[in-house]
């Protein structure tokens, strides 16, 4: 079984919000709401295309906030 693919929302140096997968910035948006929407759409598309578990997170200082999760039932993932 593959580990889940993780999309994260990160503030970029220029003040934009980036949708990232690992260290790669896939999309940028001026507002956090638009970035979250882009990340959820990308994650859903990735899941539908590959069948692999995908999560969307907003990294914070103490923990990550889970914004979306796409997985088959019975994967053992929250």
Mean pLDDT by 10 residues, the chain (78 residues): 89 93 94 96 95 95 94 61
Both tokens assigned to 7:
């999309």
Residue 63 inside a domain? The answer is: yes
Q: How far apart are CA 38 and CA 17, in angstroms?
A: 11
Domain containing residue 30: 5-70
Residue 77 inside a domain? The answer is: no
Residue 37 inside a domain? The answer is: yes
Distance of CA 36 to the CA centre of its chain: 8
pLDDT value, residue 78: 45
pTM, two decimals, is 0.85
Number of domains in the chain: 1
pLDDT value, residue 72: 81
């Amino acid at each position: 079984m593959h580990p889940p693919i993780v999309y994260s929302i990160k503030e970029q140096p220029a003040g934009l919000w980036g949708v990232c997968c690992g260290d790669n910035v896939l999309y940028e948006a001026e507002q956090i709401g638009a970035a979250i929407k882009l990340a959820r759409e990308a994650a859903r598309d990735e899941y539908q295309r590959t069948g692999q578990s995908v999560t969307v997170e907003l990294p914070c200082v103490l923990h990550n906030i889970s914004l979306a999760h796409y997985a088959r039932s019975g994967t053992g993932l929250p």
